[in-house]
Structure 1
Amino acid sequence: MTASSSSLTPRCLSSSPRSLGGESIMDTSEPLRKLLLKAVRDIADYQFGRDVGEKLFPESCRVQLSKRTGKPRYVYLGGDLLATIRYPDNLLALTLKGAERLREVLGEKAGRVIIREEAVEKLRKGMSPAASDLVFCSDGIRPGDEVVVEAENGRILAVGRAVVSAQTMREAGSGVIVKVRKACKT
């Protein structure tokens, strides 16, 4: 079940989607800013669990609208990009900074995939982790879920989408388990 595109478009934007394109909600009216921030928080609640959105995206967050559609697209905290809203499924794609915040908010409950230290070099070369690299994964991970890839020492290495379920990650002897979107360089 995914949130529909129309459910995330505030009524005031649906009639003129290009009128606010590319603007930050900090530059728009306060009621609109709050409405858009609530929409982004609702997505986070749906994707990561109840009451996560408000903790992940505090009042000081800025939401930038898409220049093309006028819908919420980027979420910033200070100068850091935390997440991008993916279309057409309207879910959040976290950045490395967003993954750090998610881990602060959820702790051990975050969708975590921990890999062997020997596999860290493969990530640096742009490869995705395989089942043979797995040390631990959070229960409840489903294919398509946003996950945080960590080293055994707890350092965040990458963010991406799970290719298979947590159970399959544990049982498979080979094959890619996470499609990495962004990895740390160091």
Structure 2
Amino acid sequence: MNYDTERLARVRMIADYQFGKGIGKELFPEGSTFQLSRTKRVRQVLNSGKRIATARAKDGFFTLSIEGASIVHKLLPEKKLRVIVSEEAAPFVEKGKTAFIKHVVEIDPELRAGEEVLVTDETDRLLATGQLLLSPAEILAFNSGAAVDIRVGVASKKEK
């Protein structure tokens, strides 16, 4: 078994744990390539030259590019890993602006603060991907503040 095969198996395992069983194989198909850190750890996973995900240094979990988020979005059942925002907030969120608590219509109750989430509108159209800042219970209890730090929106030009 060569290093790339080993790396592919490892990143798929992490993706299965983070996003759900079977996601890893779809998110990182055969032929995926890796950008490594100086210490030879996986930094980014690419497919056809496009970044799909980046490994966070602090915990090894993945942050998704919009391409990676759309793959996960297609594979997961509706409402899973999702923060659903109102129609009035949708144009701002898809441009990469923060999703605020007052605009959250619904949220997957199994999410935890710090997790990578998919932000959708009420018709389940993918708007963005980002990091959940508070727990679902806190988001539903509070009236103001940021809910999701948007990493990249479908209509934004560059990623954070």
Report the TM-score when normalising by structure 2: 0.87
Does the aligned pair in 1 maintain the 2:130–2:152 contact within 8 Å? yes
Tell me which residue corresponds to 1:35: 6
1:134 aligns with 2:98: no
Correspondence for 1:161 among 104, 107, 131: 131
Distance in 2 (CA, whole Å) between partners of 1:184 and 1:109 is 18
Counterpart in the other structure of 1:59 = 30
Q: How many residues align?
A: 156
Matched, 1:118 2:88: yes
Decide which structure has greater helix share. Answer: 1
Q: Does 1:81 align with 2:51?
A: yes
Unpaired segments ≥5 residues, structure 1? 1-29
Deviations, residues 122-155 of structure 1 (Å, cap 9, x unaligned): 3356531111101111120100010011122322
Q: Note the alpha carbon deviations across 1:52-92, whole angstroms, 9 max, x for none.
A: 222322223222222x2211111112232110011021110
Q: Which structure would you say has the larger Rg? A: 1
Say what the alpha-carbon RMSD is for the aligned residues. 1.9
Question: Sequence identity of aligned pairs in percent?
Answer: 37
Aligned to 1:45: 16
Distance 2:78 2:94 in 1: 24
- DSSP-derived class of the 1:118 partner: coil
d(CA) in 1 for partners of 2:130, 2:149? 5
Unmatched tracts of structure 2, length 5 or more: none
How far apart, in 2, do the equivalents of 1:125 and 1:59 lie? 32
Letter of the 1:178 partner, please give it.
Answer: V
Whether 1:143 and 2:113 are equivalent positions in the alignment is: yes
Which residue in 1 is equivalent to 2:77? 107
1:171 aligns with 2:141: yes
Kept in 2: contact 1:44–1:52 (CA 8 A): yes
Amino acid at match of 1:35: E
